[in-house]
Structure 1
Amino acid sequence: MIYTVTLNPAIDYVVQVGNFKAGKVNRSKADYKEAGGKGINVSRVLDRFGVSSTALGFVGGFTGKFITDYLTSKNIHHQFVELKEDTRINVKMKSEAEETEMNGVSPTIEDNHYQELLDQLKGLSSDDIVVLAGSLPQSLSNSAYREMVAMLNEKGVPTILDTSGAPLTEAIQASPAFIKPNHHELADLFDEEIINDEDIISLAKRLHTEQQIEHVLVSMAKDGAIYVGSAGVFKLSAPEGHAVHSVGAGDSAVAGFIYKWQETNNAREAAQFAVAAGSATAFSKTLCTKAEVEALLPQVVVQKVE
């Protein structure tokens, strides 16, 4: 079973306005609400690929109930730890000129809540996969992901990690099986400047060899991605298209890699599908479908570098 862990979920409230004017009354042209958070997005995309998963993490209050009801309506399994405080709401405002986000305050995660989640993970086996994705609530230590990866590694459970900043810096010390930094996050990890592909490959190789991370997929937006792992080094081009929906593109790439890796056990094909999935979501108004990914797949040219 695939388990996705979202420690900091949210209701994503997406509002479309015309010509936004600060300090004035703006009326929305359309809006919608959906369950958000990187791990939850991975579960949603996997479901669209026909793959079952169970969503774990923390939810609370009426906003938390919206998230669980939303996932139930999509037939996505979930087993969240219940909090007393409300789950946050993130507002994403799309105007004609730009997209603006305002993320809500995270609820407090008490020690007993965190321990309950760890107890859930302790019951998993090497037949499972765990996706750890998204930011951390302020009440959790930056070492939370590192602790989870280390614990799961001891049980032989492969971990897929998608986060950034201090939590990423901490977690790579425990050697997750897969990480997906963008090239800016990769530069920050080593506090080095990236000028070209050779720099990206050099730093990604250090993650692969020194930190023993089996799969490193570095995303570069319109410039595609670079994969470094046991299968070698590959440069992948990005499909051409108009980006209309940035939210969930990275999560779709993670889901795409998992889906194809489980199907073929081929890292090259998994990376190719991941790039196509991320682009398919970016080109759509919502998360990608399998048909949309497969339509873009031929455009993702894979060049073996090493």
Structure 2
Amino acid sequence: MSAEFDFIDLFAGIGGIRQGFESAGGSCVFTSEWNEFSRKTYSANYKERNDHIFAGDIVPYDEEMIPDHDVLLAGFPCQPFSIAGVSKKNSLGRPHGFECTTQGTLFFDVARILAAKKPKAFMLENVKNLASHNGGHTFQVIMHTLEKELGYHISWRIIDGRYFVPQHRERIIIIGFREDNDFSLNDFKLPDRQPVLKEILHPEDGSEKVEQPYTFGDMARVHSKYTLSSNLWNYLKEYSERQKAKGNGFGYGLVSGNDVARTLSARYYKDGSEILISRGTNANPRRLTPRECARLMGFDDSFIIPVSDTQAYRQFGNSVVVPVIKEVARIMKPYL
């Protein structure tokens, strides 16, 4: 069956945006992702046509070599604009936003491809802080580029993934169409109910198939390696107390099955502190397994995780919430 529209997948990560637009009948004709571990996960999960190009770094890539397409998709790197990224760069005396030449200017690679290929539409995804970064100036530059210089009609909205998955995850979605139409992100529909963590956690009661190395035994219990050591748990509790004494809100996020988690970040592999699963009052909490992280981002259990836990945590922490993108694709499709 032929595709209903073609798209390209830039800064593709592990393909969460691609999943959303394939669900709406689209076909990916070009992919770009520079990270070797993300490329490994992406390649393990998506079948490519014979003529499909899987490029690495998009910066030196000639835009004229990119196939024609209906929709450009890009979750361009967000670290230069994220609250955590800006704070870290400020503390190190490093530039951020568009002054961060290694990542912040990657938006302009999106712009040069839009200028050359003139697709019918695009969808960009980034952190919520993009809208307010540098007093709003960064966002003004992006909007001016997309609207005034490239001539696209823009709709944007900040969407919290918690309506689709049990995780607070606010992201900005920017849609552009070359032709003027009545498309609006106000048509984006939220589910009737909000999920909670127990819907994505391993039940550990034998009702779930064992998936090594994450779960073991007749009851498919979570491997003990995901439980925090007493040293790490005590450190996190002491650190949290010190921060509270200073009036800061920083600390670990201890949650149970009926809760909604904080935002999963790419640093989760370090100590798991933002999402720790309670094991009861007298037991140390545990990290999420990579499979639970996949579910927390809306990937189903058929999604292959061919990399180490460290790389998997980074990849899911950098991913989009797949059902959010599916809904975006659904409402864009009639205008393609």
> Same fold, TM exceeding 0.5?
no
TM-score band w.r.t. shorter chain:
0.3 to 0.5
User: By percentage of residues, which structure has more strand?
Assistant: 1
**TM-score between the two structures when normalised by the length of structure 1:** 0.41
**TM-score between the two structures when normalised by the length of structure 2:** 0.38
